[in-house]
Amino acid sequence: MNNEAGADSIPVQLMRGCLVASIQVDLTEQVLKRFRQELLERIGSARVHGVVLDVSGVDVMDSADFETLKTTMSMASVMGASPVIVGLKPGIVSALVDLDVDTRGVRAALNLDDALEWLGAAESSTATADPAVIRDTHARHP
């Protein structure tokens, strides 16, 4: 296997005012940490309002990978870019549920179109309903 710098990098494209990251590589701590740094720098320089993490090319995600991605998503959010994760495979989802990871606050969409549509709507209106956010059901709305 080729180990030179960039071989495991995650491509990030600008689409409709959002950054879209297509994650197609095997996830390791190193890959995910480098990706986080690159993504946050791009958010800062491109002034985007949304970030889509497309994980449809990922076959295995363990609890550590998920936590690292979730932290990256909250960092993006603190910078002002709404994060959405798309393309989680059924096998990954069932493993993550078995692992009892905390998915609260993670916004998910089935595909890239849905994610970009939601981010576009959220940008143009502050009153948009937000049905896909996984929330602690006791935390809000009396």
Partner 1 sequence: MQGIHNAEARIAIRGESDVARAIVQARRMSQAAAFQTVDQSRIATTVSELARNILKYAGQGEVILRGCVGATRRGMEIIAEDSGPGIADTDSALSDHYSSGGTLGLGLPGVQRMMDEFALESEPGAGTRVTVRKWL
Binding residue for partner 1, selected from 63, 79, 105, 114, defined by CB under 8 A? 63
Please name which of 132, 136, 115, 124 lies closest in space to residue 18, comparing C-alpha atoms: 115
Nearer to partner 1, 67 or 113 (CB): 67
Structure tokens at 86: 């798309």
Binding residue for partner 1, selected from 90, 139, 140, 141, defined by CB under 8 A? 90
- Please tell me whether residue 61 binds partner 1 under the rule CB under 8 A: yes
E strands within 30-81? 50-54
Between CA 52 and CA 19 the distance in angstroms is 6
Locus of tokens 């095997």: 26
Query: Per-residue x/- mask for partner 1, residues 7 to 26, rule CB under 8 A?
Result: -------------------x
Binding stretches for partner 1 (CB under 8 A)? 26, 28-30, 59-68, 89-92, 94-95, 98-102
